[in-house]
Structure 1
Amino acid sequence: MAVYGALRSGTTLLRLMLDGHPALSCPGETDFLFDHVVFDGARPGYDAEALENDRIYRDHRDLYPDRPLADLTPDALIDRIAGADQTAVLMLHRHLDRLLEVYPDMRIIHLVRDPRDVARSSIGMGWAGTVYYGVDHWIDTETGWQALCGTLKPEQVIQISYEDLINAPEATLRKLCDFIGIEFVPGMLQYDETSTYSSPDPSLVAQWKRKMTAREVGLVEHKVGGLLAQAGYAPSGYPARAPGRLGRLALRLNNRRLVLSRRIERYGLRDALLVFAASRLGVPSLAQGAQRRIDGKTVRYLK
């Protein structure tokens, strides 16, 4: 089974809730399973070098500490992720197409959040400097969903929203449990006792209405286009205008400036500039050491 949703859409919160059920095993983010998968033989394998450099995979390296990376397959890793007598729940933010190519009958929980709130949250993570760019990964995830959701059988998929998970957590989890075929247990809502996450807070819903300007909302709504309604969200009523050529240039330059400034603040001038330069040159291996140091510091901001 897999949860599929954009980053900053509540996937970690849902993972903690599902992991509170004794029948489920939800060890963390598992994008690495399909980010580096290679289809060049009778069975899918991995780009060993890319996998080894993946921060999330390195956190799971003990799954097969003595097995060569070149011999690993998605089946082998998922078997180790699942506990005894438990169903593994994968947490994915992208590459739904690759997942379904390997597991066409996999059941999918599609988790969606208002893109205007996702855009704001992305800035807090340092992934973007403006909401105009902060919504990009939501667009990528939801575009992937819209391209493939029509190929799924009705009994194979369920969609829930972050807003429902926050405003009506027990009812939403009961609906998920019915879909999975298990009984709801109260422990699914006790994650705040074993993690840094607090109980569901309704004030986290629709923050964009209080914290974004009309222009920012309009820019985001223009950029997401029809995906807003397809995801189940209503437009604000503000003008959804496209920026002009000079406006796009200003947005791009301001975004780069703010992202680099935040990275320097968090990770130090040397490492931030090394990674930035390597990325611009298209040679990420030039900053491999700096990237690993940054990866080590990143976890403190992941809540």
Structure 2
Amino acid sequence: MTAPGAEHPVLIVGTERSGSNLLRLILESHSRITVPHPPHFMRYLAPLAGSYGDLTQERNRARAVGDALGLLRRHIHPWPHPIRADRIIAEPAGPGLFGIVAAIYEQHRAATGKARWGCKSTFMVAHVADVLRVFPDARFVWLVRDPCDVASSAKRAVFGPSHPYRMARLWRAQQEKARAALDSWGPGVVHLLRYEDLVSRPEEEIGRLCDFLGEKPEPAMLRHHTSAAARQTAALADAWRRAGQPVSTDRIGAGRQGLSTRERLWVDKVTGPVKQSLGYPVDARAGTVRDPRPSAVALRSVSLRARIEYRSMRKDGNHRARLRRDVYVRWLRFRAWKRGGLRPPVRGPAPAARRGSL
């Protein structure tokens, strides 16, 4: 069942710290597409799905909608338009938890007056099949960046694992999911876009992206940094300050300065074949480096996280909002555990589908 009213949505998938905010703002600048900053509904709620019961039942749906809108109220990047819970509860948009998420995005889209909505939650790479059950014509943009540069950025970011070894493991797992989606549904559904290509040849890559989406490129997409959305994002957090700047290549190769030699080798060892398959060189010495001890990774992660939180407390306008959001997520997990429905998210590959059949 497809949610009414909207044309097929656009979802950015992959790994955070890969330029997804840049791509979000480029797409948001198109006159027909709106991409609000994501509260990561499926990331936080999918592990709790079993606690809601049958979502065709109004009482269960109301509980799930309440939890989702609780996330939205505590979002670290406020949405400009209110979302009405009663409309979602009374008129469910589609099956499962993503049907509720789709209805929330659809209300936002209708409020903006645009034709399509997009979602920047890169974690949706684990939920491609869920999306296609609701929107068979959905389009996915697989945004990928050199994992050394991703790990370098993550060492200073409040989002994701801060230790390069842990970040490398996450990057590999998420690219493998994205590759499985591309293999299952084909390039008509999943479009591979390298961050390095986007910032090196923005006009060309935006043109190719628009062709994939069936849209006409617009000059505003190359001026995304001048938009009100870009200024708002840049002002909220130090990690997002580049949102207010034009496209630049100066962050290509950031891992050469941001990671030590050993850290770069760890990343290459973990990501090796996947990294190479995506066109990134792998250091030949990576196979000789020893994996870090788990205790050393844990201690280093604590140290990095303490520095990150201190910097965020001093520089980020949404620091308190993020802490409130994190407390709320823990409360949701506790309530789900009390109801006996807490389950780990499904990690397996997406089921196969005929290429081009959607």
The TM tier, using the shorter chain, reads 0.7 to 0.9
Q: 1:259 to 1:210 in 2, by over 3 A?
A: closer
Displacement, 1:154? 3.1
Which residue pairs with 2:145 in the alignment? 113
Q: 2:260 aligns with which of 199, 208, 213?
A: 213
Structure 1 CA distance for aligned equivalents of residues 84 and 214 of structure 2: 34
Which residue pairs with 1:20 in the alignment? 29
Displacement, 1:66? 5.0
| Structure 2 stretches lacking a partner, 5+ long | 1-9, 93-99, 235-243, 335-358
Q: 1:47 aligns with which of 61, 64, 69?
A: 64
Q: What secondary structure, in the 3-state scheme, does the structure 2 residue paired with 1:135 have?
A: helix
Provide Cα deviations, 1:103-158, integer angstroms capped at 9, x if missing partner: 24321111111111000101111444432233344234223213333211331121
Letter in 2 for 1:16: L
Structure 1 CA distance for aligned equivalents of residues 103 and 223 of structure 2: 31
Q: 1:186 to 1:61 in 2, by over 3 A?
A: closer
Letter in 2 for 1:80: Q
Q: 2:167 aligns with which of 122, 126, 134?
A: 134
Q: What secondary structure, in the 3-state scheme, does the structure 1 residue paired with 2:281 have?
A: coil
Displacement, 1:22? 0.6
Which residue pairs with 1:227 in the alignment? 274
Which residue pairs with 2:214 in the alignment? 181
TM-score of the two chains, using structure 2 as the length reference:
0.66
Q: Which moved more, 1:189-198 or 1:135-144?
A: 135-144
Which residue pairs with 2:75 in the alignment? 56
Provide Cα deviations, 1:170-192, integer angstroms capped at 9, x if missing partner: 00000011111121111101112
TM-score of the two chains, using structure 1 as the length reference:
0.77
Q: 1:91 aligns with which of 117, 120, 125?
A: 120
Which residue pairs with 2:298 in the alignment? 252
Displacement, 1:49? 6.1
Q: 1:255 to 1:183 in 2, by over 3 A?
A: same
Structure 2 CA distance for aligned equivalents of residues 43 and 160 of structure 1: 37
Asked if 2 retains the 8 angstrom alpha-carbon contact of 1:20 and 1:187, the reply is yes
Q: What secondary structure, in the 3-state scheme, does the structure 2 residue paired with 1:159 have?
A: strand
Q: What secondary structure, in the 3-state scheme, does the structure 2 residue paired with 1:158 have?
A: strand
Q: 1:80 aligns with which of 93, 107, 111?
A: 107
Asked if 2 retains the 8 angstrom alpha-carbon contact of 1:173 and 1:184, the reply is yes
Q: 1:137 to 1:179 in 2, by over 3 A?
A: same
Provide Cα deviations, 1:190-238, integer angstroms capped at 9, x if missing partner: 1122224211211211122344332111111112242212333221333
Q: 1:203 to 1:75 in 2, by over 3 A?
A: closer
Asked if 2 retains the 8 angstrom alpha-carbon contact of 1:47 and 1:70, the reply is no
Q: 1:124 aligns with which of 156, 159, 162?
A: 156
Displacement, 1:96? 2.9
Q: 1:59 to 1:137 in 2, by over 3 A?
A: farther
Structure 2 CA distance for aligned equivalents of residues 211 and 76 of structure 1: 41
Displacement, 1:261? 4.1
C-alpha RMSD over aligned residues: 3.5
Letter in 1 for 2:246: S
Which residue pairs with 1:2 in the alignment? 11
Q: 1:148 to 1:23 in 2, by over 3 A?
A: same
Q: What secondary structure, in the 3-state scheme, does the structure 1 residue paired with 2:86 have?
A: coil
Letter in 2 for 1:91: K
Asked if 1 retains the 8 angstrom alpha-carbon contact of 2:13 and 2:143, the reply is yes
Higher relative contact order (CA 8 A, sep 6+): 2
Which residue pairs with 2:180 in the alignment? 147
Provide Cα deviations, 1:9-67, integer angstroms capped at 9, x if missing partner: 11110111111111111122252156425375475957356532464398349542453
Structure 2 CA distance for aligned equivalents of residues 264 and 210 of structure 1: 22
Structure 1 CA distance for aligned equivalents of residues 67 and 180 of structure 2: 26
Asked if 1 retains the 8 angstrom alpha-carbon contact of 2:11 and 2:121, the reply is yes
Structure 1 CA distance for aligned equivalents of residues 126 and 307 of structure 2: 35
| Structure 1 stretches lacking a partner, 5+ long | 289-303
